[in-house]
Amino acid sequence: MNVRCIALAMSIFTSSSVLATNNIEMWKGTSYNHDVPTVKSVLGYEIGKKITSHADMVTYFRALEKQSQIQ
């Protein structure tokens, strides 16, 4: 169970950052909220530039949580 949660978190973490930085449209006709913080805006680097620690992932997810409470 724990491994599945980590795998899911990594998948979301990676795909959301790639979509945000490359302006990739995952679902045709969908509009994306540019107020959602990117990994670079929170952690200071693009995905793939360095290995992201668990602590940094938690920091990013907390930033997402904080932004979702604003809206």
Number of domains in the chain: 1
- pLDDT, tens digit, for every residue of 15-70? 555 555 556 666 788 777 788 898 999 999 988 899 999 999 999 999 999 988 87
pTM over 0.75: no
Residue 10 Cα distances to 28, 31, 63, angstroms: 24, 23, 16
Position 13: which residue type?
F
Position 11: which residue type?
S
- What domain range is 9 assigned to? 2-70
Beta carbons of 31 and 61 less than 8 angstroms apart: no
Secondary structure class of 5 (helix, strand, coil): helix
Beta carbons of 9 and 57 less than 8 angstroms apart: yes
